[in-house]
Chain A
Amino acid sequence: DQQVKQNSPSLSVQEGRISILNCDYTNSMFDYFLWYKKYPAEGPTFLISISSIKDKNEDGRFTVFLNKSAKHLSLHIVPSQPGDSAVYFCAASETGTASKLTFGTGTRLQVTL
């Protein structure tokens, strides 16, 4: 059951450059999309989210873009910093706050000096 897919298991980016992480989904009932960051031995930390009525949401260095027709979302981090090195998970739910999250498999981001 791969309703949320992150096709790139890893990504390496130089410090100061833009990191772009991608996520595709198949369930057209999803209406809320979230990005989480995870360090080893810690739980997922919420980064940024977007509801289906928007196509862009920005919070500091993080921007999430949603393309509903393509069932695709992306997370842009600019500028990338070494502390951004972690595993990033895309997640989605059908009814916002009250609904379970379906996660992707994650993308490991390495920000190099």
Chain B
Amino acid sequence: EPEVTQTPSHQVTQMGQEVILRCVPISNHLYFYWYRQILGQKVEFLVSFYNNEISEKSEIFDDQFSVERPDGSNFTLKIRSTKLEDSAMYFCASSGDSMGDPYQPQHFGDGTRLSIL
């Protein structure tokens, strides 16, 4: 069964450094998402991406965050200058093939654990 893959599984970075989290969504999906889960808290939406542009973002997704789909397969989340509070699990998800069913589930990767020191 097709799956969403994320790399790396764990990233340790010094505060103030830039990080790039990488995702390969399911190949025929059209909608891409990033979520995060801070330890002990619920999964929170960060950003959605469709047709090569951001379609929605949360208040968490401020100017230090950016997303990109540099080629036909990868979807990346960049955090420009990391803070301690950015430490979390970051999940990539994708959904929606071209068959037109408006109710298709999002499928998630196994996440990248980001630890900011």
User: Taking beta carbons and an 8 Å cutoff, which residues of A are in contact with B?
Assistant: 32, 34, 36, 41-46, 49, 51, 89, 91, 95-106
The closest CB in chain A to the CB of B9 belongs to: A41
Assuming the contacts A41-B110, A43-B91, asked whether A97 and B43 have C-beta atoms less than 8 A apart, the reply is no
Chain A nearest CB from B43 CB (Å) reads 4
| Chain A interface helix/strand/loop/mixed | mixed
Binds A, one of B14-22, B64-72, B101-109: B101-109
Asked if B111 is an interface residue, CB under 8 A from chain A, the answer is yes
**B110 with A46: CB separation less than 8 A:** no
Contacts of B111 in A (CB 8 A): 42-43
The closest CB in chain A to the CB of B46 belongs to: A100
Contacts of B50 in A (CB 8 A): 98
User: Taking beta carbons and an 8 Å cutoff, which residues of B are in contact with A?
Assistant: 4, 6, 31, 33, 35, 41-45, 48, 50, 55-56, 58, 91, 93, 95-96, 101-111
**B56 with A100: CB separation less than 8 A:** yes
Choose one: B31, B45, B93; the contact of A98 (CB below 8 Å).
B31
Chain A nearest CB from B74 CB (Å) reads 17
**B4 with A97: CB separation less than 8 A:** no
